[in-house]
Amino acid sequence: MRATFPLLAATDFPALARRRTDTLQVNLGYTCNLSCVHCHVNAGPNRTEQMDGATVDLVLEVLRQARMKTLDLTGGAPEMNPHFRRLVTGARELGVKVMDRCNLTILEQPGYEDMADFLAAHEVEIVASLPCYQEDNVDRQRGKGTFDASIRVLQRLNALGYGGNSALKLHLVFNPQGPSLPPPQAKLKTDYDRFLGERFGIRFNDLYTITNMPIQRFGSMLVSKGQFDDYLQLLRGAHQDANLAGVMCRSLVSVDYQGYLYDCDFNQMLGMPMRRASERMHLSALLHTHVEGERIAVAEHCWGCTAGAGSSCGGALA
């Protein structure tokens, strides 16, 4: 799972310190109905790791006591966790904004047919992966038929009120096809708007461009094709100091399915936990301690977040 980590560990990436945490990003498990080429989690149908009910209860308690503003749910397909609905309902009752990082196709799978209605009823913000607006490119990355399924789900979400001017926010996520930086986010949004609107009548709020990280499935692909070193050089060469102020790890804490803490989801996938002294930190620590000012664990993949226009869970930084 962490085959690329030895190639990334030694780094001269600038030192970073945490600011006040306002977002709890929770990975509910690695089970997914898809196995996407660009997936940095290496998620798929054969992964069985899932957050249990006791840890979900702890997430809710941390949200309550630490007064977090945002709960960012990811996976795998987070909706496949059996405690997903209870967690969403509990967080919304606390007044916490909930984001669901959704692959769209899960909302058509047996057993999840009413999930879109549930998300709308609880005003969950949907961040939906659609790595391109062209069918061939999407199916190449995600599997045959996924583009058509994604379009059907987007149309259904629009029918529920998502993507308009209501409280139901729908954002799309673009990932490059290979070892290259994303194009300018604003221009690409215009292209998505025009193509999806004219051809399918689809509307959405924002487009997020996210740089592919050289880890897990994507990193292994780069190694197998002899492109790993070149890609790292591309990221390093495109570094912009101005992006350091906005990287997501400064105000976000990533939680794995067992409840352990990381500075970001990418560090989680590389097994680089958040530490205090020599101990890796558990979610329960956030009930009685603050991590503001703590040093952030960095490695060579971090250049991906500061390259070009920058990259975060909320898209480009510049």
CATH number assigned to the domain comprising residue 87: 3.20.20.70
| Element spanning 209, H or E | strand 206-209
pLDDT digits over 273-304, tens only?
A: 998 767 889 999 999 888 999 999 999 999 99
- Give all strands (DSSP E) within 19-124, no chain letters: 23-27, 70-74, 97-102
Q: Which two tokens stand for residue 186?
A: 């604003």
Asked if the structure places residue 161 within a domain, the reply is yes
Asked if the structure places residue 314 within a domain, the reply is no
Asked if the structure places residue 60 within a domain, the reply is yes
What span, in angstroms and rounded, lies between the C-alpha atoms of 26 and 56?
A: 9
Q: Which two tokens stand for residue 134?
A: 């062209």
Asked if the structure places residue 318 within a domain, the reply is no
The pLDDT mean for the chain works out to 91
Terminal-residue alpha carbon distance, the chain = 32
Asked if the structure places residue 12 within a domain, the reply is yes
Asked if the structure places residue 312 within a domain, the reply is no
Asked if the structure places residue 316 within a domain, the reply is no
Asked if the structure places residue 251 within a domain, the reply is yes
Total structural domains within the chain: 1
pLDDT digits over 177-213, tens only?
A: 889 999 999 999 999 999 999 999 999 999 999 999 9
Please give the model's pTM, rounded to 2 decimal places.
0.93
Domain that holds residue 206: 5-306
**Residue 273 CA: distances (Å) to CA of 3, 184, 211:** 17, 32, 22
